[in-house]
């Protein structure tokens, strides 16, 4: 019994298989290269989205502050009592009035030993 290497007339032997594997590996390498080239863009996109969310939160806070300030300005323009209250909070008084300020009593010291004692 002698064994001979059979030659495939279609060319699909060992070299045909190696050729297919090589084509698949080249295709995978190209896909990996394309994916790696997009990684910086993906990171940049993520960073920009995070920045956008921070800016949206800041915008919301500033809009809230703007509404508060606008209502304060509106009250100061239309209500004399609000103007008087704001002036008194800043230490102003009408002519002939005396301002009396009350200070909070000093806080008692915590449990510290007296100087010179242990």
C-beta neighbour count of 88 within 10 angstroms: 13
Asked whether the whole model's pTM tops 0.85, one would answer no
| 2-57 confidence digits (pLDDT tens) | 566 555 556 567 888 888 899 999 999 999 999 889 889 999 999 999 999 999 99
| 42-72 confidence digits (pLDDT tens) | 999 999 999 999 999 999 999 999 999 999 9
| 68-112 confidence digits (pLDDT tens) | 999 999 999 999 999 999 988 888 888 888 888 888 888 887 766
Can you read off the two tokens belonging to residue 12? Answer: 């699909």
CA atoms within a 13 Å half-sphere pointing along the CA-CB vector of 47: 6
In order, the DSSP letters of 42-91 are HHHHHHHHHHHHHHHHHHHHHHHHHHHHHHHHHHHHH-HHHHHHHHHHTT
């Amino acid at each position: 019994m002698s064994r001979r290497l059979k030659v495939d007339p279609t060319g699909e032997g060992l070299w045909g298989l190696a050729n297919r594997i090589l084509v698949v590996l080249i295709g995978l390498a190209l896909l990996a290269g394309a994916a790696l080239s997009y990684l910086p863009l993906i990171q940049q996109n993520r960073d920009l989205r995070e920045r956008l969310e921070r800016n949206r939160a800041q915008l919301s806070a500033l809009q809230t502050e703007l509404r508060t300030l606008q209502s304060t300005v509106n009250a100061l323009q239309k209500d004399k009592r609000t103007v008087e209250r704001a002036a008194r909070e800043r230490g102003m008084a009408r002519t002939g009035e005396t301002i009396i300020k009350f200070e909070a009593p000093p806080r008692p010291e915590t449990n510290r030993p007296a100087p010179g004692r242990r």
